[in-house]
Amino acid sequence: MHLYHYLFVFRRISQRIHDARNLLKESTKILLILLACFVVAGIFFFSLYSGLSSSPPPISRASFFELTIANNIGERATDDPFLASLGGDVETGLQDILSSIRKAKMDDKIKGILLKPKFVGAGWGKTEEIRNALLDFKESGKPLYAYIEAVSNKEYYLASTADSIFGLGTGLMLVSGFLSEPMFLKDTFKKIGIEADFVAHGKYKSAPEVYTRGSMSDPQREVLNNLLDQFFDNLINKIADARSIPAEVMKKHVDEGFYTLDRASSYQLVDSLIYYHELKDMIKEKHGDNLRFVGLNRYKQVPFSSLGVSGDRQIAVIYGVGTIVMGSAGLNGQNDLITSEGMAADIKKAAEDDDIEAIILRVDSPGGSGTASDVIWREVVEARKVKPVIVSISDVCASGGYYISMAADTIVAHPNSIVGSIGVFAGKFSWDGLYDEIDANISKVKRGRNADFFSTSQTFTDEQKTIMRRFIMEFYQDFISKVAEGRGMTVEAVDEIAQGRVWTASDGKDIGLIDVLGDFRTAVNIAKEMVDIPEDEAVQLITYPKTKTYLEQLLAGNISVRDMTKIDLASFMIPESFHSTIHAIPHFKAGEPLFLFLNHFELN
């Protein structure tokens, strides 16, 4: 081939490459323009939606509150049409449910509640709080009906409050009690050459055992049996009482566990089998043909002021929901994170605000960073010097979650809330065996005998393990000393009930970790009493931190596609009960002591 042929071919190839580059540039521009249009459109429609929903929707003179519970339930939720349009999971806010039930009780336009529990994505603390609100609603004398199709423990636990339970004949009931199946990965890791090397203090501090043991330890089994006994007895007794069935008969039904609603009706667990639209027609016949049904999304927007309820005096409600980490205020309350700077700043702001008379910390946290917990604890101590601080516990207030709560004037919790886990652990994973398996050779050059303290190519040396134990013990002693100070106990007494053990709040009250068994309204009433506000006087609840929509988080840089991809992949690689801590993992530092309760048992 002649030289000019080569030049011709080369020019053609160069031209193709040039054309491809231009096409790629144009494609990139188009994609960016489309993305920008999508974001702008999202902002526009979100703003439009917000504007349209700013005024309360009209409620007819005769309405039934149709309360369907079919989503995960968080402490608070943000109306997020942008996330919904993307097909994302939108949580239902617990406070939206509770306040709507309270409004329905006093609203003359609401003639009753039709409850439809389809999926209760909440812990037993939140579930108990909803159940208590429904029981309180019944004191109004208005009817409460429940309709069930496929239910398990929590759904039926709520439905049992109803005056009458209706169901689909071909529906099913799986009210079978509680199962705990902790997973242990030591032998799995061994097969792939990974070894977990952790140091923990506390006989019952079982958080690292999922990685360091091949089976359940006796102390962990002791704790689980205690928890299961209490949850099981509560389930049996409360349902039996609500349905006027002897407890021993109810236990037999639960032991059988799984049956159709047709069979459940023969057990007196369902009053009538009927289709849902037939039930609604029946309610209309009884309460008027003009009756309308209003759902949660509409009714939650009706302000209390429209019912003649308003207050001038203010109480702050500061939410501490998620895993505790060191971090900036901007991340606080996002992605199941409590950041040290964010929550501490919120507490300080509320303490310095002269209009705010008391502070309620609403805590739902398994803990996290020991250092971050201490930063928040200190701000609670300072706030308590100028105004009352009350803690209201949701599902979990364990380890670091309890650390940030223990300095409060009063701690309120549901009997079924999980509390305690006063202990600490730290450690690392050695990948040395995996490196050998894949022929990855590690060469070390170091200065300082323990420069390789957190190297992933080896486990701790004997000296390093001794140093780590000393480090852990210093944090543990500081932890129990502060518990003793906050709870008015001796250090020895705290040490005896600590040891990393988790308790139900019912037990926690008996041993001094909890002051009052109750719910969020109990905490509000205690705050009122401490600042001389009459119990029947309404107050303004000023909430912190501000909730952010998915779009606001995205624009603020708190969410990236890369981060979400990593988190989604990680979700498949660890037990489901660990998922709430996934977002916190990148924030934990090497060697950081963790006051963290890993809920590796499921109470379904």
Q: Give mean pLDDT in consecutive 10-residue pieces for the chain, a chain of 604 residues.
A: 38 50 53 52 50 55 93 80 54 93 96 96 94 97 97 97 96 94 91 93 88 93 95 97 97 96 96 97 91 94 90 96 88 85 97 98 94 96 98 96 97 95 91 91 92 93 94 94 96 96 96 97 97 95 82 57 43 52 71 70 52
Based on the fold, state whether residues 261 and 339 are members of the same structural domain: no
In a domain, 476, yes or no: yes
Query: What is the per-residue pLDDT for 330?
Result: 79
Based on the fold, state whether residues 406 and 338 are members of the same structural domain: yes
Sequence-separated (6 or more) residues with CB below 8 Å from residue 437: 192, 193
> Cα–Cα distance between 365 and 580 in angstroms, integer?
10
Based on the fold, state whether residues 29 and 166 are members of the same structural domain: no
In a domain, 293, yes or no: yes
Looking at the chain, how many residues does it have? 604
In a domain, 109, yes or no: yes
In a domain, 331, yes or no: yes
> Cα–Cα distance between 573 and 569 in angstroms, integer?
7
Would you report the helix, strand and coil content of the chain in percent, each value rounded to 5? 45, 20, 35
Query: What is the per-residue pLDDT for 329?
Result: 82
Q: For position 154, which CATH number holds?
A: 3.90.226.10
Based on the fold, state whether residues 417 and 391 are members of the same structural domain: yes
Q: Could you give the 3-state DSSP secondary structure of residue 153?
A: helix
In a domain, 24, yes or no: yes
Q: Could you give the 3-state DSSP secondary structure of residue 43?
A: helix
In a domain, 489, yes or no: yes
Query: What is the per-residue pLDDT for 596?
Result: 77
Among the candidates 36, 54, 72, a domain finishes at 54
Pick from 87, 545, 594: nearest CA to 338: 545
Place of tokens 């990974």: 194
In a domain, 382, yes or no: yes
- The answer to whether 206 and 216 are in contact (CB under 8 A) is no
> Cα–Cα distance between 446 and 38 in angstroms, integer?
52
Among the candidates 266, 290, 306, a domain finishes at 306
CA distances from 144 to 104, 140, 147, 164, 242 (A): 11, 10, 10, 7, 13
Query: What is the per-residue pLDDT for 26?
Result: 56
Based on the fold, state whether residues 11 and 96 are members of the same structural domain: no
Based on the fold, state whether residues 162 and 34 are members of the same structural domain: no
Provide the domain limits for residue 19: 1-54
Query: What is the per-residue pLDDT for 12?
Result: 47
**What is the Cα gyration radius of the chain?**
28
Based on the fold, state whether residues 387 and 506 are members of the same structural domain: yes
Based on the fold, state whether residues 280 and 169 are members of the same structural domain: yes
Place of tokens 């624009």: 555
Sequence-separated (6 or more) residues with CB below 8 Å from residue 43: 551
Angle at 519 between CA 486 and CA 341, to 5 degrees: 50
Query: What is the per-residue pLDDT for 64?
Result: 96
> Cα–Cα distance between 358 and 389 in angstroms, integer?
6
| Amino acid occupying residue 65 | F
Q: Which of 152, 399, 421, 455 is an active site residue? A: 399
> Cα–Cα distance between 256 and 177 in angstroms, integer?
10
Q: Is 365 a catalytic residue?
A: no
- The answer to whether 220 and 203 are in contact (CB under 8 A) is no
- Phi/psi region, residue 182 (left: phi>0; alpha: psi -120 to 50; beta: rest), is beta
Among the candidates 276, 306, 336, a domain finishes at 306
- Phi/psi region, residue 310 (left: phi>0; alpha: psi -120 to 50; beta: rest), is beta
Helices (H), 288-319: 296-299
Based on the fold, state whether residues 421 and 482 are members of the same structural domain: yes
| Residue 541 tokens, joined | 């609840």
Query: What is the per-residue pLDDT for 562?
Result: 41
Torsion, Cα 526 527 529 535, to 10 degrees, reads -80
Residue 70 phi, psi (nearest 5): -140, 15
In a domain, 182, yes or no: no
Based on the fold, state whether residues 352 and 296 are members of the same structural domain: no
Torsion, Cα 522 523 524 526, to 10 degrees, reads 90
> Cα–Cα distance between 248 and 254 in angstroms, integer?
10
Based on the fold, state whether residues 413 and 385 are members of the same structural domain: yes
> Cα–Cα distance between 439 and 469 in angstroms, integer?
33
Kindly report the number of other CB atoms within 10 A of residue 603's CB atom. 21
Place of tokens 């780590």: 468
Counted domains in the chain: 3
CA distances from 42 to 39, 52, 155, 224 (A): 5, 15, 35, 47
Query: What is the per-residue pLDDT for 479?
Result: 95
Based on the fold, state whether residues 280 and 316 are members of the same structural domain: no
Pick from 96, 228, 120: nearest CA to 174: 120
Across 451-471, b (16+ Cβ under 10 Å) vs e yields: eebebbbbbbeeebeeebeee
